[in-house]
Amino acid sequence: MHITGGRHFLQIPGPTNVPDRVLRAMAAPTIDHRGPEFAELTKAVLAALGPVFGTSGPVVIYPSSGTGAWEAALVNTLSPGDRVLMSETGHFSTLWSELAGRLGLQVEVIPGDWRHGADPAEIGRRLAADRENTIKAVCVVHNETSTGVTSRVPDVRAAIDEAGHPALLLVDTISSLASIDYRHDEWGVDVTVAGSQKGLILPPGLGFNAVSEKAFAASRSAGLPRSYWDWAPMIEANARGFFPYTPGTNLLYGLREACAMLAEEGLPRVFARHQRHAAATRAAVRAWGLEVLCADEREHSGSLTAVLLPDGYDADEVRRVILEKFDMSLGAGLGRLAGKIFRIGHLGHFNDLTLAGTLGGVQMGLQLAGVPIKPGGVEAALEHLREAAS
């Protein structure tokens, strides 16, 4: 480990910095998962999660990564050979498509340039063309972690409605939940997929599905084999405060504490904070004379910002210099973006001064790595933050 004094800056777009309040909560002794104290924990956690997802329906918690929650959303609602419509927004939407294919689904992907969100108009066109309703689900990644682009879920919903199509709407909020405004019920989402390790300010290890009535109804006839991911026994046992198999007790302690912290700050303030940091970061990037990857002003992510390097410069070399000299981890370009971008995570347990430190490190690292930038990026960001604070 490189030693520089002080705390490591973990500014990848997740897993994020876990507050020590949460880490301490997780360090409590494990309790009997069949006892009365556990039932209280379960009920408290489930009650606190509803507002975070924006739902009054069930939220299912798995001991799993977010990838597991992707799989759960599909195996509970679909049958072998079902058609699903996916939008290529980047590396993670592609992984989800591939996962769907491996499960035996017939995946139709709307191609994308990795600089835009899902295209509601095109989704609408595909559905409208699907006269026989063979498309069973539309899958969208709300915030594409590999690109820093946020898809406009309400517009996707409107497109589906306009097409009058019965397909389910499945949305991945792994890097947006509790960071970017999101409303499962209000936006008519059928399954919301999430994970613990981003805006929920927990370590990785929990996956989530928020489930609409329509999705739950679909699960009754869905034919993909499932057991671990099956919603029904989960929802049934949860009602009594328990789980059908041993849950991740200590992560649930952490989740209770994380939800308490989100409630103390208030979700609207949490969302505003993320937007402020994203805007300040873009101010810095533009002052440096660099380009933000996201190409649509309506779709900038509140969670992370992907920075395009000029041709001939290696983003991984910039990241290497920053890790070595300033003990900060940034996100790499993934898939086709490898080496071309780096990603600044500004989500989770994060504030104005941490952002100032983060951008200070990026600026110095760009310079040390020989990337030609204009001065003044950090100052531009500070100006933005100062105005927001006044």
Report 334-353 residues binding a copy of itself (CB under 8 A).
349-353
Candidate list 112, 241, 248, 333; residue touching a copy of itself; CB under 8 A: 248
Least distance (Å) between residue 54 CB and a copy of itself: 20
| Part in contact with a copy of itself (CB under 8 A); list of ranges 31-39, 129-137, 183-191, 308-316 | 31-39
Q: 70 with 99: CB under 8 angstroms?
A: yes
x/- letters, 226..245, toward a copy of itself (CB under 8 A) = xxx-x-------------xx
Candidate list 30, 131, 132, 164; residue touching a copy of itself; CB under 8 A: 30
Candidate list 58, 90, 148, 195; residue touching a copy of itself; CB under 8 A: 195
> What is the total count of residues that contact a copy of itself (CB under 8 A)?
101
Q: 22 with 261: CB under 8 angstroms?
A: yes
Which of these, 369, 290, 362, 353, lies nearest to 331 by C-alpha position?
362
Residue 57 or 104: the one with the smaller Cβ distance to a copy of itself is 104
Candidate list 29, 111, 164, 268; residue touching a copy of itself; CB under 8 A: 29
Least distance (Å) between residue 158 CB and a copy of itself: 31
x/- letters, 36..65, toward a copy of itself (CB under 8 A) = -x------------------------xxxx
Least distance (Å) between residue 60 CB and a copy of itself: 14
Window 280 to 299, contacts with a copy of itself (CB under 8 A): none
Please give the backbone phi and psi of residue 334, each rounded to the nearest 5 degrees, phi first.
-110, 150
Residue 55 or 143: the one with the smaller Cβ distance to a copy of itself is 143
Q: What is the DSSP letter of 191?
A: E
Is residue 270 close enough to count as binding a copy of itself by CB under 8 A?
yes
Least distance (Å) between residue 119 CB and a copy of itself: 26
Q: 170 with 77: CB under 8 angstroms?
A: yes
Which of these, 232, 235, 216, 227, lies nearest to 77 by C-alpha position?
216
Q: 84 with 127: CB under 8 angstroms?
A: no
Instruction: Say which residues have a Cβ less than 8 Å from residue 351's Cβ, sequence separation at least 6.
Output: 273
Least distance (Å) between residue 332 CB and a copy of itself: 7
Residue 119 or 144: the one with the smaller Cβ distance to a copy of itself is 144
Q: Which residues lie across from 139 on neighbouring strands? A: 86, 170
Candidate list 250, 286, 289, 313; residue touching a copy of itself; CB under 8 A: 250
- Residue type for position 66: G
Handedness of CA 8, 11, 12, 15 (dihedral sign): positive
Please give the backbone phi and psi of residue 13, each rounded to the nearest 5 degrees, phi first.
-80, 45
Q: Which helix (H) or strand (E) holds 42?
A: helix 36-53
Instruction: Say which residues have a Cβ less than 8 Å from residue 255's Cβ, sequence separation at least 6.
Output: 45, 48, 49, 61, 196, 200, 202, 206
